[in-house]
Chains A and B, each alone.
Chain A
Amino acid sequence: MMRLLTLAASAIALAATPAMAQDFALSGVTLATGDGSEPIENGAVLVRGGKVVYAGPASGMPETPIQLIELPADTWVTPGLFATVTTLGLWDVGAVSESNDTRAGDSPFNAALDVSRAINPDSQHIKIHRAAGVTRAATVLTNTGSIFGGQGTVIDLGDDADPVTTPRAFQVVHLGETGARLAGGSRAATYAEFANALREARDFANGRWDAESAMLTRADAEALVPVVNGRQKLYVAVERASDIRAVLGLKREYRSLDLVLVGASEGWLVAPEIAAAGVPVIADGLDDLPRSFEELASTQSNVGRMAAAGVKVAINASAMENPRNLNQYAGNLVALTRVPGADGLSWGQAFAAISSVPAEISGLAGRAGSLVPGAAGDIVVWDGDPLEVGSVPTQVYIDGVAQPLENHQSRLKDRYRDLDESDLPKAFDW
C-alpha cells in the first residue's frame, strides 16, 4: 500500500501507487471532515488515485466521470479514526507473553527500540480495529525497563503487507510516577537520567561520545540524537500539574525539543501555560478518578478546559479498554456540554480529537485524519452518528482501497447466529 509522502525523506520510504485504489464518489450523506467543523447534511466526497479530491456539500462536487454512489440519508461519512497512542500490531493475546511484543524489559536497549519491524499487519487487533473505523494509528512499546520507551511507528490498518506509514515517528519518555519508579525511585532520579541521556546524545551528535564513560549503550545514545536536535518528537508521559510545568520548563534548557504531552490528567490546572508553550496534548479523555497521587485533580472536563484555553488536544487511545472506544469517548465529551459546570467539546471538536488532531500530532497534518484535498483516501462510511454508541462502519477505505471488514470476531458472530447442531457440530459451520 502507498505510504504518505513526507518531507523528512530520511525517515520515510517511498512506495508505489497502490494497485487497487479505487476512484469513487459518495453523496447524500452527513459529512464530517474531521477538521473541527460541524457535520453537514447532504455532503459528498470524491476520491481519486487514493487521495481525497473533494469533500463538502454535494452541490459543490466537481464534474467527474466517476459514478456517484448515493447512500442512504442516515449514513455518515468521515475520515478514518486516528488512534494514538496504541500497541496495535504488537500483540495477539495480552497475557500470552510469547504472542506479546509490547514489553522489552529484559532488553539491554531502551531508546533504540524501534517497533517498525515488529508490526504484524495480520494481527486480529488490526483487523478488528479496521472494522471499527480506525484507519491509522501510532503504535509503540509499553515502558518497562527504562524511562525511555523507544521509538513509535505510525501505521495504517490496511489489509496489505506494508503497515508502516512513518517509522520512528516519535520517542517516548516517562517523567511522572512511572518514570520515577523506572529511574530508581524518585523524580529526582528521573531528571538526572533524562539530563544524562540527552547530554550523551549531544555528545554523540558532536562525535564526542565516549563509550568508556557512557551510561547509555551506543545504540541508545545514537537513537536520542534526533530527539535532542528536534527532528523526532518526544512524547512525554506525565499527569501531575507540577510535572507538566517541569516538562514545559525543559524547553528552556533544550530549545530544540519537539514535545508532546501524553496523559496530562491535571492539564486543566496549567492549561494556559501548555497553550502558551504550543505543546500539544494526547489526553486521557475520561479519567476522573484519583487513581494515583499524580491524578488527584482528574476530571472528565480536563479535555474541554484545555481546548478552551487553546491547547491542541487529541484523545489518548491507551487510556481506554480498546482503541475502538475512541468514538465513544469523544461522544462523552460532547455529552459534557449539557452538564452544568462541566466543560466538553462541540461535536466537530470531539471528532477532530480522534481524527485530524492526532494525525497532526503524528506529523501527518493535511495528509491523514481529515478530508482535505490531497489527504489520504482514508474514508469511513458509518450506519449512523459515529460518536453515538452502537454506530459502526459499513465500509472502510484506506488510501482509497476498499477494505475487508472480516475478522475472528465476525466469523464467530456468523457461526453462532444460531445454536443448531442437529445435522453436524458447529465445527463444520464455516
Chain B
Amino acid sequence: MKRLAPLALAAGLAACATSGTGNETASASKPDKEWTVPTGQDGNEPFPSTYRPYPGRPTALVGATVFDGKGGRIDNGTVLFRDGEVVAIGDASLSTDGYDRVDAAGKYVTPGIIDIHSHLGDYPSPAVDAHSDGNEATSPTTPEVWAEHSIWPQDPGFSRALANGGVTSLQILPGSANLMGGRSSTIKNVPARTVQGMKFPGAPYGFKMACGENPKRVYGGRGRMPSTRMGNFAVNRQTWLDARAYAEGDREKRDLAKETLVGVLDGDILVHNHCYRADEMALVMDMAKEMGYKVSAFHHAVEAYKIGDLLRENGVCSAIWADWYGFKMEAYDGILENAAYLQREDACVVIHSDDANGIQRLNQEAAKAQAAGRRAGIEISDATVISWITLNPAKAMGIDAMTGSLEPGKMADVVLWNGDPLSVYSRPEKVWIDGALMYDSMDRKRRPVSDFELGQPGEGDVK
C-alpha cells in the first residue's frame, strides 16, 4: 500500500497487523473498516499529521551485511532506495546505476530501529516537574487523554535515540499509573516544530493499559478504587461494559473516553498493556475475549517466558527488557532468557526501552537476550534477533505494511552501522528516514540539535 494513504484506510489495514501469531510477515487487509474517530467541525480528523519526508538522494548501500528485518540476511548485499522508498535489496549483482553509491564493505545495514515503548516527549529532558506530562493520575481510567497532547517536540532525547540507537520510529505512551492511561502516539524520529510534524502518517493509535501494582498503589493509596488486583479488573470490566453500551447505541453524542474505547472494540486502536506477571497476563487475555477486543502487546512482560504458549495462541507480542528485574515485586522473576524462551515457543518478541537511555542501545539489549538464549541451548539467528527491534514492533504498532523491514515500496527507514549491530562496539554511521539522511556521524552538522540545547554548554557536541 502507499504509505501516505488516507488515515481511514491505513488505520483499518494496520489494525489487523497483529492478528495471528505475530510472526507472520504480511498483514491481512480490512479495507472496509471505518475510522471511528468523529471528524471535527472543520470536517477533518483531529490533529492530523503534517509530516512530509525531507528530500533525499537516490542511494545505493553496497557491500554490506544486510539484515532485512524480517529474518533474512544477505552477505555482501546491496540496498537501493530513492524517493523515500526502498527500491530493492539483493546481492552484489544488483545494478546501482542512477544511485549515489555508498561503500558499505565491512559495515551492516538494518531497517530503522523501532521502539514500541518510549516516553520521550511526555517525560522529556530536563526531567523537571514542569515537563512531567506522562500520567494523568487523577482517575484510574482516562481513555480520553492523548499522549500527543503532552509530547514536547524539543526533547533532546529524540536526537540521542537517532544518533546512538538508530531509532527511526517510536511509540510514545502515557504512563502506567492508570488502568487505562489514554492514547499513545506513533511518531517518526524526525525533528519538527510541532508534534503534528512528527506524527507517523497512517499509523493507528495505540491505547495504554496497565495491570498490577501501579494502578492499585496510586489509587488505593488515596483510599479509592482500585486498591487490589481484583479491583483493577472490576474497574476495567465495568468501563468496557459501559463502552459496549455506547458502541451499540447511535454513537451520536461525542464522548472522548468512549470514542477511544470504541476504537479499541472496533479494532482500530491497538491495546498496549503494561503487565509483568504471567498469571495476570492470562487474565487480561480472557478479559479481552469477554469484552471483545484484542491485546496487541504486553509491555514489560518480565514473566512472559512462563506462558509463551498462551501468548502464541492468542497472538500477543511481548515487549520486554533484556535484563531489568527486581525493582518491584512484580518484576522479581525477571530472567535473561525471557526473549529466547518466547522465541522457542514461536511467540512474538519485541525488545523495548521505556527509558531515554535504553532507547539508545536497543540493539545491545537484543544481543544480550540472544546470548542468554544461546547459553540455554536456544540458537536464534542474528537476522531474527534484528526483527525483535524492527519488524516485530512495527507489527505490534500496526505500521508493518509501511516500515520495519527492507522491502520494495516500504519507507526507506535505514541504518548503516559501522560494525555488527549486535556488538557493543558498533554504532550507527548514517540514518535515513523516508530516504532523507537525518544523521551522519561523518558530518558534524548532520545531527539534530533541539531548541533547548542552543546556546547551552555542549551545543552540537557528540552525545
Contacts and interface: CB of A to CB of B under 8 A. Distances in A.
B258 interface: no
Contacts of A266: 457
A93 B334 CA distance: 12
Interface string B202-232: 0000000000010000000000000000000
Interface of B: 125-128, 156-157, 160, 164, 213, 305-309, 323-329, 332-337, 341, 345, 355-358, 360-361, 364, 367-368, 370-372, 374-377, 418-419, 422-427, 441-442, 444, 452-453, 456-458, 461-463
B423 A389 contact: yes
Contacts of A334: 424-425
A413 interface: yes
B250 to A, nearest CB: 45
Contacts of A412: 333, 335
A269 B461 CA distance: 12
A291 B323 contact: no
Contacts of A392: 371, 375
B462 A94 contact: no
A417 to B, nearest CB: 7
A391 B425 contact: no
A20 to B, nearest CB: 27
B456 A388 contact: no
Nearest to B375: A392
A339 B367 contact: no
Nearest to B372: A390
Contact of B441 (A95, A96, A340): A340
B335 A289 contact: no
A408 B334 CA distance: 10
A416 B326 contact: no
In the A-B complex, the 4 residue pairs with the closest CB atoms = A390-B371, A331-B424, A297-B458, A297-B457
Contacts of B329: 93, 95-96
A419 B305 CA distance: 9
Contacts of A128: 325
B425 A335 contact: yes
A332 interface: yes
Contact of B335 (A301, A332, A409): A409
Among A331, A341, A390, residue most surrounded by chain B Cβ atoms (within 10 Å) = A390
A290 interface: yes
Contacts of A296: 453, 456-458
Contacts of B372: 390
B328 A391 contact: no
A125 B326 contact: yes
Nearest to B310: A419
Interface string A82-117: 000000000011111000000000000000000000
23 contacts: A95-B327, A125-B326, A128-B325, A290-B156, A290-B452, A292-B127, A297-B456, A299-B462, A322-B325, A328-B368, A332-B361, A338-B418, A339-B441, A341-B441, A388-B425, A390-B371, A391-B371, A408-B332, A409-B335, A412-B333, A412-B335, A413-B337, A419-B307
Contacts of A419: 306-309, 345
A298 B305 CA distance: 37
Interface secondary structure of B, over-half rule: loop
B125 A290 contact: yes
Contacts of A293: 126, 128
Contacts of B336: 409, 413
A376 B305 CA distance: 39
Contacts, number: 155
A412 B323 CA distance: 14
B457 A269 contact: yes
A424 to B, nearest CB: 16
B126 A93 contact: no
B156 A289 contact: yes
Contacts of B452: 290
A288 interface: yes
A328 B424 contact: yes
Contacts of B453: 290, 296
Contact of A341 (B213, B327, B462): B462
Contact of A335 (B156, B337, B424): B424
A128 B456 CA distance: 41
Contacts of A125: 326
Given A292-B127, A331-B425, A340-B441, A390 B457 contact: no
A191 B248 CA distance: 66
A53 to B, nearest CB: 31
B461 A339 contact: no
Given A288-B463, A297-B461, A412-B333, A94 B368 contact: no
A242 to B, nearest CB: 10
A416 B338 CA distance: 10
Nearest to A240: B457
Contacts of B370: 390
A335 B326 contact: no
A387 interface: yes
Interface string A112-145: 0000000000001100100000000000000000
B371 A389 contact: yes
Contacts of B127: 291-292
A289 B357 contact: yes
Contacts of B324: 321-322
A77 interface: no
A232 interface: no
A79 B453 CA distance: 41
Nearest to A321: B324
Contacts of B422: 389
Contacts of A324: 323
Contacts of A409: 325, 334-336
A155 interface: no
Contacts of A269: 457
A86 to B, nearest CB: 13
Among B156, B361, B425, residue most surrounded by chain A Cβ atoms (within 10 Å) = B425
B381 to A, nearest CB: 14
Nearest to A324: B323
A301 B328 contact: no
